[in-house]
Amino acid sequence: MDKKNTFLGLIFIVAGIGFMFWQTQQLEQERIERLREAETLEAPRPGSTSPDDAQIHSSSDGSPASSSEAHRTAVKDLFSEVEVEPTIPSQALTEEQSLTLSNEYIEVVLTTRGGAIRTVDFLKTKRGERDDYVFNQEGYLPALSLSYPTSDGDLREFALDYSILEQTSDSVTFGLDTGEGLALRRTYRIAPTGSRAEPYIIEHSTVVTNSSSTAISPRTLYFNLGTARPLSAEQIGFNFLNAGYFDGNKARFIAINKLTGSRGFLGIGANTPTDLITKTAPMQWTSVKNQFFASVLSSDMVAKDLFIYPVKAAADYNGPQADRAGITSSVGYDVGTLAAGASKSLDFDFYIGPKEFKRLQALGNEQDLVMQFGFLGFFSKLLLAFMYAIYAVVPSWGWSIVIMTICIKLIFWPLTAKASRSQKRMSKIQAPMAELKEKYKDNPQKMQQETLKLFREHQVNPVAGCLPMLVQMPIFLGLFYMLRTASELRHEPFLWVSDLSMPDTLFEVGGFPINILPLIMAFTMYFQMSMMPVSPTADPMQQKIFKFLPFVFLVFLYNFSSGLVLYWTVQNILTVVQQKIINSRPDEPLKPIAATPSKPKTKGSGGSPRTKAKRK
């Protein structure tokens, strides 16, 4: 590798770091501007009701009604068959009570406010302590609290006060009597510690009973899926934070930037902020998720529509990413008409846990589509299964990635070695190629014919160098989609890397993170490309583009998860080793392909002997 190319490579790397530093500052400034705009022009959140804005129901004499009376009025309006705007009490009927269900994986905090889920803590981490992410921590409503539509198409949500009817070590039942002939029982159950059942599943049932003497048709009930907030590891622009649903054929996801607005890329894909997105379709399951965690609500019933809206962190919340919007949604199920004395049970499985493919796949009904592996999902699933097999023997996800990369390289070794040998032969015929170009510079067609003839005689393929990269690209993309959201890598250390799901930042300079693996990746990639023989037919502009590729990959992968960059770095190192081996071997003697014998002439082609004699 000559000094000039080395110097150019270093210039590209330094320029890449400078560009990323500038880009980081620009994105941060844009984020601050959006937050200021949101604070100035923030619209009221659909369905939200603050105590200051809440209406207080008045009694017949005009004096404020008691909290108990106001609560009964709200309940009556909620379950009324006639569309009325409910009156929301300014104070709760009773003091909120919290109850806890837990196993070795999750701790579920339930609340009498809405008879629903206040928060879920995740107890199993590789660090041996609780995860710092708490599901629904910023939710202004408990998960699975009930909502109902208003006449203008929005959702009105209010966490009504429930009473505790029953509590065991693994279940809690809440009750609510509407006073209008309807009663609700809401039960939550989790798998106890040591059970073989899925530990992240919360079984839930809402039983609606008509205790009146006439048939009743309650409104559609909407179940809130809780609030997900972004994680610090999430890369800007990939929209891991989203709400989704499965309609029986395809999973569809609505990203947070569809709600908060986006300037797009050079104006392409830009959209304005909105407070609410509504989707209408037959839905078999619905979800709210971020990069590594998801809540998925599934049922044998089919939902009718989904309300999706952004959630800002509460003013007193000081947790991570407090200044970025979360996302929540509510899904609607029809109760139908209830005959006098009849009941209907709405039963659900509510998965709240990490985005682990094997767990989600075991839930059935295509719930593993929550992973969003993309159009190369086949390769992503295959590679993930391979990684699990390696991890069963070598219990380290970092070493599993290294071993998997080595195995992939060995599989493609014959193909890449053949391509490298062909490129090496190509470099040996540069002199004859130059002579042909000079000899036939005024006859391009003849020069092309002679060039192809030269390639055939020396057994070289001018496009051989591109083939291995094209073949491996689906593998790389499948791995990219798999590693970017695989929660298995969360908090997984490897060598100096503290978390394979995040960049391996060692320190910062002026607020800019110094990540070592991407720098090693860029250097090894540049070194690898400098070792490759240059094709005599290669376009000069194409050669410059190839020299620029390490810089492009450095910018693209700099803030990606260390797991993905680790794969690419090991891949580069193995390719360098392979090229060293090929270059150190003596050149194989070229065996020109024998010329194809000419076909014998037919009788009529040259004429008879007598005719030839006459011609003479």
Which of 22-31, 187-196, 542-551 is least confident?
A: 22-31
**DSSP SS3 for 24:** helix
| pLDDT tens sequence across 176-187 | 887 777 889 999
CA gap 226, 247 in Å, rounded: 20
**DSSP SS3 for 209:** strand
Domain ranges of the chain: 43-372, 385-584
- In percent, how much of the chain has pLDDT > 70? 65
pLDDT confidence of 2, banded at 50, 70, 90?
very low
Across the range 502-513, mean pLDDT stands at 81
Instruction: With CA atoms as reference, report the closest residue to 138 among 274, 389, 277, 325.
Output: 325
At 465 the pLDDT is 58
At 469 the pLDDT is 66
**CA triplet 527, 529, 535: central angle to 5 degrees?**
145
Instruction: With CA atoms as reference, report the closest residue to 405 among 571, 560, 572, 525.
Output: 571
Q: What is the DSSP letter of 169?
A: S
Instruction: With CA atoms as reference, report the closest residue to 179 among 283, 332, 70.
Output: 70
C-alpha pair distances (Å), 181 with each of 177, 206, 223, 280: 8, 16, 22, 30
562-584 vs 466-485: helix crossing angle, rounded to 10:
160
**CA triplet 329, 71, 207: central angle to 5 degrees?**
55
- Contact between 39 and 142 under an 8 Å Cβ cutoff? The reply is no
| pLDDT tens sequence across 446-483 | 777 777 777 777 666 665 556 666 777 788 788 888 88
The pair of three-digit structure tokens given for residue 320, joined into one six-digit string: 């991570």
Across the range 33-58, mean pLDDT stands at 39
Burial of 65 (0-12, 13-18, 19+ CB in 10 A): middle
- Contact between 592 and 453 under an 8 Å Cβ cutoff? The reply is no
Residue 541's CB: how many other CB atoms inside 10 A?
8
Domain 43-372: which CATH number of 2.70.98.90, 1.10.10.10, 3.90.660.10, 2.30.42.10: 2.70.98.90
- Contact between 140 and 113 under an 8 Å Cβ cutoff? The reply is no
Across the range 119-145, mean pLDDT stands at 85
CA gap 9, 529 in Å, rounded: 11
- Contact between 333 and 301 under an 8 Å Cβ cutoff? The reply is yes
The pair of three-digit structure tokens given for residue 126, joined into one six-digit string: 């590789």
Instruction: With CA atoms as reference, report the closest residue to 199 among 190, 187, 210.
Output: 190
| pLDDT tens sequence across 383-435 | 888 999 999 999 899 999 999 999 988 888 887 777 766 666 666 666 676 67
